[in-house]
Structure 1
Amino acid sequence: MSEVIVMPKLGMTMTEGTIVEWHKEVGEPVSEGEPVLTISSEKLTQEVEAPVSGILLVKNAEVDEQLEVGAAIAVIGEEGGAVQEVAAAASVAVVDKVEADTAVAAPAPVREAATKVQGDRIFITPLARKMAKEHQLDIALIEGTGGNGRITKRDIERALQEGTAAKAAVETKAEAAPAQASVSPVNDETIGAGLNPMRKAIARNMRRSLGQTAQLTIHRKVNANALIDFQNSLKKQVAAADLDVKLTITVLVARAAVLALQEMKEVNSHYVNGTLTEFDEVHLGIATALDDGLVVPVVKNAHQKTIGTLAKEIKDVSVKARNGEASGDLLTGSTFTITNLGASGIEYFTPILNTPETGILGVGSFQDELALDEKGQVKMIKKIPFSLTFDHQIVDGATAAEFLNKLSKYIETPYLLVL
């Protein structure tokens, strides 16, 4: 019996995955649970294991090719098994093994323009469609060599090498059209074109965020002397108790933000499809930088965590995210996000909303300032800059300022963090 391996859905927002590496080739035996290939989504890289033991009969995509979630990646079964019947049962198109084996040697025939029939369904892989668009190829004039006549990456590459009539036809249309017609509109297909999967996802999410919300950022510095003293005091007590807890300023700011959010639920909210939902629970997103991008792992039910537990969970989710071990569930469901550029020496910045959230808090680096104390003496004050971006559709400036005021209260009176 044969089994189809389909592109898994690693997170709620994942729509397609990219083949990163094949660990097995067609004709090789595989054991149940053995990695067959590695895929990359917009946020994660993960191995895909064999659901059954058998022979790898079909590879439906090559390295760097993208497939939609649920599309067939491969087929495993007994040698000579009924590949096409299994594919049909799974409601997915699978490249026929014989066609796949002969595709390299066979040229990609080009349809004559006169034979093009309006309304015919054209089967084409997502990567091939993207390549055709980039090179202005008319896919209706390219004969696919995949299963069901599906146009693959190889067919596009061959068409480009041969300088087929497909491109000439498109160029002719472009010459006849007005100049403005050649400008492609900005949409999800064109945003991030040519970037790796993670950067492409970041590009799409950021553009979508800016396009769907009315974003405004306000800034404020807060006296952090008391918070630093509180942190040092806690560190001594943690060390004396021999506890494995790292109490960073980020952790304390996160705790302060959680308490402020519980007082102001309008900032701890989602706005989706015309519906505003305010949350009692605080699921805190922690923006985490990677070598090639950014992800936002989530500490679920942060409002129920003590400072020590919050510290451990922030460290845990951040490490998993950096190591590519974060599951889809760990990267979704946040109600508010914190992003910290303090380590980079940045004072203020304008974070972009992690939609559908209503607010995101940016944390900058400590700033030294001179001030007069109550006795008129000059003293040094360390201030921490905050940048709050919010959706002005949901929250007004006065409400956003009130949230920063409440946050400041916990920063300047840090013992409230443990009450």
Structure 2
Amino acid sequence: MPTEIYMMKLGMTMTEGTVAEWHIPDGGEVKLGEDLYRLETEKVEMEVEAEAAGIVRHLVPAETTVDPGDVVGWIYAAGEEIPDVLPGAPAGGASAAPAEAEPAAAAEAETAAPARAEGERVPASPAARRLAKELGVDLAAVTATGPRGRVTEDDVRSAHEAAAAAPAAAPAAAAGTPAPASPLARKRAEALGVDLSTVAGTGPGGRITKEDVEAAASGGAPAAAPAAAAAPPAVARDDEVMAVRGMRKVIAERMYASLQETAQLTMDMDVAMDDCVKLRGQLIEEWSDDGVRPSYTDIVMKAAAKALRDHPRMNAQFLGTEMNLRGEVHVGMAVALDEGLVVPVVRNVDQIDLKAIAQESSRLAGLAREGKLGLDDMAGGTFTVSTLGMFGVDSFTPILNPPEVGILGVNRLRDDVRWEGERPVRQKAMTLSLTWDHRALDGAPAAQFLASVRDYLEAPFRLLV
């Protein structure tokens, strides 16, 4: 009995998924646990592993979007009979075995795209259509190499690269185009009645100078400019065109929408961190046998959760005509990846202790970097914390994750000075950057919330009770 290859359902909020890329070709052999295809959703990308070994048959091509639970292919065990038409394939669809190679002429006839009537829609994958729109490529002019004459992303890129490589015709000089000349040269030419189009320029780039005009007016030729030393040839470097797709595309759309649809403001506040530094050191030593190492972000998350309890309007969702003051405190933690940014959620941060927060944040960050987060891991946040302190950042403007109304930026721990009377005293300090939605609350309550976070961090023993 063949093994079905499903579109995995990653969470309760997932409505569709895309087979972005098949790692095993149609008719290829796969081992148990080997990466089979790359799954993309609006929020995550992950590799799907084979649940059996055998021969892989694709039911849908790459870049196809289907519902969760749909069958996208089959795995047939060695020696198992493969039917002429795969189960679930449309009429005339996926055949049981990849086509045998034909002689060259026949192959060309078989793979050639069918002729299209004028104005007929060009068959192309959704990703190819998006890329063509971004690059300004006419799909009708693209040579299709996909199944049944379908245009793929690679076809669009090839067409774009070919167009870019074609030599552009040099623009003809328009009649009457004014010669390049300095403003002073133009004034002098007007005063002397000299036609600039008859003057040879000796300035940079052939620009006409005042001296050139005067020489032309007196009937003499301008002095030849001294030959410039030959510059070393410039190294030609081609531009790289990167398609905005997958996670990057979703981030781009959501960040733009966030700034367009909310009234965002950011304020900074300094925090004295000496006591936090001492507490963290003690906790690292105490929890060393358990392998738990709390970060400053973990401590800030706990302080923010307690402050959210004190200021419930910051722990809310703004829904246009109403605000939903959330009863639970679930804090999203931004995790940077090579391909973008994900925000897994630590739940009930106000109710669990610092050790549990450190363990959960470490677990979620690990899943994020391995590409194994599920949609449920990133759903339900009521507030977000974003950290750039590890890059030496002193202050930044975090962007809201709507419909949340607040996000807290954590900056670097730095050396600072405070004054005790007339005496300067060294201390550790950190700046917190709060962005909030002014539609939901005004500056004063936002500042009060941020001051509460500061107060908890400056007396961190309160975070342990």
> Are residues 273 and 47 of structure 1, via their aligned partners in 2, closer, same or farther at CA, if it must alter by over 3 Å?
farther
Partner of 1:45: 46
Change (3 A) 1:270 1:15: farther
Q: Determine the structure 1 residue equivalent to 2:411.
A: 364
Contact 1:17-1:40 at 8 Å conserved across structures:
yes
Residue 372 (structure 2) aligns with: 325
Shift of 1:141: 11
The residue number in structure 1 matching 2:128 is 128
- Letter of the 1:153 counterpart: T
The one-character-per-residue Cα deviations of 1:112-144 (angstroms, maximum 9, x if unpaired) are 317x4xxxx886431232244344435699999
C-alpha distance in 2 between matches for 1:198 and 1:220: 32
The C-alpha deviation readout for 1:17-61, integer Å capped at 9, x for no partner, is 3534423x33356688875323344433221545x8875343522
- 1:199 paired residue number: 248
The residue that corresponds to 2:309 in the other structure is 262
Structure with higher Rg: it is: 2
Pair 1:399 & 2:448 matched: no
Is 2:111 the partner of 1:112?
Answer: no
What TM-score, normalized by structure 1, do the two folds share? 0.75
Which AA in structure 2 matches 1:386?
L
Compute the RMSD of aligned alpha carbons.
Answer: 3.8
- Alpha-carbon distance in 2 for matches of 1:94, 1:68: 19
* 1:337 to partner: Cα distance: 1.0
8 Å contact 1:110–1:142 — kept in the other structure? no
Q: Determine the C-alpha separation between the residues in 1 that align with 2:435 and 2:306.
A: 18
Matching residue within 262, 279, 282 for 1:213:
262
Moved more, 123-132 or 327-336: 123-132
Residue by residue over 1:378-399, the C-alpha shift from the partner in whole angstroms, topping out at 9 and shown as x without a partner, is 2112221010111111121112
1:323 CA displacement? 2.0
The alignment covers a number of residue pairs equal to: 371
Inter-partner Cα distance in structure 1 for 2:153 and 2:292: 53
Deviation at 1:15, TM superposition (A): 5.1
What letter corresponds to residue 114 of structure 2 in structure 1? P
Structure 1's 75 and 135: CA in aligned 2 closer, same or farther, altered over 3 A? farther
Partners of 1:45 and 1:393 lie apart in 2 by 36
> SS at the partner of 1:393?
coil
Residue 349 (structure 1) aligned with residue 377 (structure 2): no
1:141 & 1:348 partners in 2: Cα distance? 48
How many angstroms apart in 1 are the aligned matches of 2:452 and 2:433? 14
Which residue matches 1:179?
none
Q: TM-score by structure 2 length?
A: 0.68
Q: Distance in 1 between matches of 2:153 and 2:422?
A: 77
Structure 2 contact 59–74 (Cα < 8 Å) conserved: yes
CA displacement at 1:332 relative to structure 2: 2.2
**Contact in 1 for aligned 2:84/2:95 (Cα 8 Å):** no
CA contact (8 A) 1:299 1:313 kept: yes
- For residues 297 and 246 of structure 2, what CA distance do their matches in structure 1 show? 29
Q: What residue number does 1:376 align with?
A: 422
Report the CA distance between 1:346 and its aligned residue. Answer: 0.4
**Structure 1 equivalent of residue 330 of structure 2:** 283
Q: Decide whether aligned partners of structure 1 residues 312 and 158 sit closer, same or farther in structure 2, where only a CA change above 3 A counts.
A: closer
Matches within 5 A, 1:40-79: 40-41=40-41, 42-49=43-50, 55-62=55-62, 65=63, 67-70=65-68, 73-75=72-74, 79=82
CA distance in 1, matches of 2:117, 2:451: 69
- Map 1:18-29; keep pairs closer than 5 Å: 19-23=20-24, 25-28=25-28
Q: Give the percent of matched residue pairs that are identical in Structure 1 and Structure 2.
A: 31
2:225 is the counterpart of 1:223: no
Give the unaligned 5+ runs of structure 1. 164-191
Counterpart of 2:432? Answer: 386
- Give the 3-state SS of the residue equivalent to 2:381 in structure 1: coil
